[in-house]
Structure 1
């Protein structure tokens, strides 16, 4: 076994018939035992990337290397890779244990060894009493577990997951996110998951590759993506953020003072390499939770008019007019200092210590 990354995509391109570009020179290294998610909007190339790793698509150019070996020409069933599909792709004419044992049967494993490994797989996914059950009698969550067991029982070096939780309801989906992460840590298997759900990716991934128009915008751990996005696309796609045009005014001991959206002049911290001189125009990314309610007249505040109010459980999400712009503001319900209603004027400012990335205008 090589000491380098388990999987490497080397300048992979995919051009479909008709000239549509699916992937534009993707290079990516995935570490052993890592849970990596490919995240992005529909059509960004994440599923194409997964299918090329699995062998269901052939790249137009570039290489796929697994454990240092070029597997680009190998067919899917010749690769030590298994895939859990979005619709699970279980065989309805087989019961649970027969579905799980299918890959082992193709490999010619003896009946006794198959039975042992199927039993272990069922215990791993929490379904030891459902071996004889028919697929049609299972709930969505149980089918998802059977699909996972069938993929894991063959002990692949790499497990690919194509939006595996998209068919589940919200509460079961959250539970299965925890189960996926538990299984991945327990087994030490490398997982690569495709999802368009940013909450899902942020909650269970070690790293996330954010994709857009066939290329990777940024790859990093969840906290880095959220706090230090590398582009306006990433800032706008990961979570909710306000992307506000601003002008650099001056450096101060605690950060950089900007003029933002009219007369608001906050002092912000963040990446400062773009703010080289006074007058530089930038985009400032400010999260709704980093704007706090203040008292009128406090320094570095602005007055805005509340356009709308949405109930978010522990907080209220306000849409506030600021000059010709509008921005989202999250106000914790237990910290509301004045009457919150549509049309009211509210004083707001930047939370002390908030990290507000400075991006190209």
Structure 2
């Protein structure tokens, strides 16, 4: 871009303008859906001026059943050079070819992806929700991907396909909801006693590391309790701050990360999150009060009780009696691993088979 940088607009607003002012007039009489879904900080509405330095700009998806090339060529010929002051074309970043930069160059390509809704779904999710959503589908898709497909905005849909896909993935069925919650409590149960033990042997660094892990798990648990798909780490705190639980639980978690006695603060956080669990009605209510870990003088929740209570209410035996690991990003957090949907499906399927 050679002109002064235009006024910042949130990406969703800019994409809506691109569709309504430039793309829609070109598609009159062509059944289609238009949306901004998938990756990018603008999809959940978290973009800022900083986001404009790469990959950001007026972009969207146009979903059609046929004539993809013809529509793509039409857009390439007919889109205006700018919308709301921002260029409508991109070029690869010469310093980082994996990213795109906005450009006024005629060699640039527009940011409208013309795709078939079913093909797009398989690429983003590893399956087509139009054929139903099975247990393996729910468990093999990283929650960030589910957030990307159900977030963003749909500007037009006279096909109905994208609306149906988003509705189908809006949230887990109750059995699966109980299962992922049970597995999240299990993660906490496996490490909740470690904070006090690290402090007891004078391992201050280890105490902080385990505390941070438990804070992260509690934040993700709060998201699941409020029917929000946990995002990847960059946005975890931001999305957590939008929860009802953040007012009650957030200050205690922050205190745990800085206090001299994090085990005590974590115990209070456990109590508050356990009370929220009890209010869901998804399992038999249990005492949220912390207790000693066996004869050791540091407080824990004994979180495994909540795992068992949730599993006991699951009707599907493959989930109830299976390996309690949860969805893939409850036991894998490597970015490159989570990007490979095929191996993730294989792994999630093996856990389901082992449990069955």
Greater fraction strand: 1
Structure number, greater radius of gyration: 1
TM-score, length of structure 1 as denominator length = 0.26
Greater fraction helix: 2
Higher relative contact order (CA closer than 8 Å, sequence separation 6+)? 2
